[in-house]
């Protein structure tokens, strides 16, 4: 669909931010890829959309008119798709977890706590990468998502959301992986291969951009390794192939023999859009209650 094309997503973001750095963060691409997509769209449309130099980015008059039209069409299309999907199955909620999170027990607990109120409700939980989760929420393919706040900062004003908890992130690696005597432990960890997992429905461009963003964020300097799924990523780390970044609430690594070194904190939030289905908000509130036990 044209509106989901990377070129269109880059254009809509850049037209709003007028900043390549912010746009790259929002669409999970490098600035170079954003620039290439904008140039490709201008060539395809045979219209100059932006006036850009080393200091600023501005929309041309034609670019502004195109933005107003496309952004309006996007909102109308998403609203219509959400309405049509809800008409088909109003008792089903599609629930998305970010790829680092595998704590499905919390979703089960939340669902059980509202089952008396909604006895016919079914909840489908699936795990996706941040970029895919956001797109699915915006396109109406997902009713409610759990995601790190940093991945959704620029869309929070359009949705309902609440904080679930702050969770720790850790470098996780084999018990046998020990730095040489006298070497700084963090430097040793960061120069090991960085293991990241492939996530279903993620496009190659999304995968590469996520890999680069996380690689830079956590200070890695060594090679990279992509595992077929999250469970395999922990297995690779356990076998000494490299380092995976994970959370202290992931059930996938609970019984692993892994060393953990704290590297960051992340705020976990839950986001939803549909105000017409009260079960979605009630499920979100039940999730917040379920996560209360691990709130820092």
pLDDT (tens digit per residue) in 95-138? 998 877 756 678 888 999 998 999 988 888 888 888 888 888 88
Examine the domain organization and report whether 178 and 40 are in the same domain: no
Examine the domain organization and report whether 206 and 95 are in the same domain: no
Helical packing angle, 6-17 and 20-27, nearest 10°? 140
Examine the domain organization and report whether 146 and 11 are in the same domain: no
Q: Which CATH number characterizes residue 138's domain?
A: 3.40.190.10
pLDDT for the residue numbered 184? 93
Listed as ranges, residues in the chain with pLDDT below 50 are: 1, 296
Examine the domain organization and report whether 101 and 189 are in the same domain: no
Examine the domain organization and report whether 248 and 104 are in the same domain: no
Examine the domain organization and report whether 171 and 251 are in the same domain: yes
- What is the per-residue DSSP string for 122-189? EEEEEEE-HHHHHHHHHHTS-SEEEEEGGGTGGGGGGSEEEEEEEEEEEEEEETT--PPTTS-HHHHH
Examine the domain organization and report whether 202 and 263 are in the same domain: yes
pLDDT for the residue numbered 25? 80
Examine the domain organization and report whether 177 and 249 are in the same domain: yes
Would you tell me how many other CB atoms lie within 10 Å of the CB of residue 181? Answer: 5
Residue 183, domain extent: 167-267
0.85 exceeded by pTM = no
| Integer Cα distance of 137 and 37 in angstroms | 23
Write down which residue in 34, 55, 82 finishes a domain: 82
Examine the domain organization and report whether 242 and 102 are in the same domain: no
Write down which residue in 49, 82, 115 finishes a domain: 82
Examine the domain organization and report whether 224 and 273 are in the same domain: no
Q: Which CATH number characterizes residue 26's domain?
A: 1.10.10.10
pLDDT for the residue numbered 1? 44
pLDDT for the residue numbered 296? 47
Taking CA atoms, 170 is separated from 12, 71, 103, 252, 263, in Å, by 35, 39, 16, 14, 5
Write down which residue in 47, 82, 117 finishes a domain: 82
Q: Structural domain tally of the chain?
A: 3
pLDDT for the residue numbered 82? 63
pLDDT tens, residue by residue, 24-65 = 887 878 888 899 999 999 999 899 999 988 778 999 999 998
| Integer Cα distance of 49 and 11 in angstroms | 9
């Amino acid at each position: 669909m044209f509106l989901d094309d990377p070129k269109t997503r880059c254009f809509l973001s850049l037209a709003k931010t007028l900043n390549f750095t912010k746009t790259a963060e929002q669409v999970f691409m490098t600035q170079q890829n954003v620039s290439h997509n904008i140039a490709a769209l201008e060539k395809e449309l045979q219209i100059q959309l932006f006036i850009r130099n080393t200091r600023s980015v501005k929309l041309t008059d034609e670019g502004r008119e195109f933005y107003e039209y496309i952004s309006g069409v996007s909102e109308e299309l998403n609203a219509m798709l959400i309405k049509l999907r809800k008409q088909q199955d109003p008792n089903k909620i599609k629930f998305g977890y970010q790829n680092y999170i595998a704590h499905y027990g919390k979703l089960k607990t939340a669902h059980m706590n509202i089952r008396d109120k909604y006895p016919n409700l079914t909840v489908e939980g699936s795990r996706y990468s941040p970029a895919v989760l956001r797109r699915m929420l915006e396109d109406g393919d997902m009713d409610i998502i759990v995601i790190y706040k940093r991945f959704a900062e620029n869309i929070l004003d359009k949705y309902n959301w609440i904080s679930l908890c702050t969770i720790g992130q850790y470098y996780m690696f084999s018990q046998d992986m020990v730095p040489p005597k006298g070497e700084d432990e963090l430097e040793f960890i960061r120069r090991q291969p960085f293991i990241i997992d492939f996530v279903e429905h993620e496009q190659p461009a999304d995968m590469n951009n996520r890999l680069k963003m996380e690689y830079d964020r956590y200070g890695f300097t060594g090679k990279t390794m992509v595992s077929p799924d999250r469970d395999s990523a922990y297995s690779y780390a356990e076998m000494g192939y490299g380092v995976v970044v994970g959370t202290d609430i992931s059930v996938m690594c609970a019984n692993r023999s892994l060393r953990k070194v704290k590297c960051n904190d992340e705020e976990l939030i839950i986001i939803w859009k549909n105000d017409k289905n009260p079960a979605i908000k009630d499920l979100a509130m039940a999730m917040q209650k379920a996560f209360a036990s691990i709130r820092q």
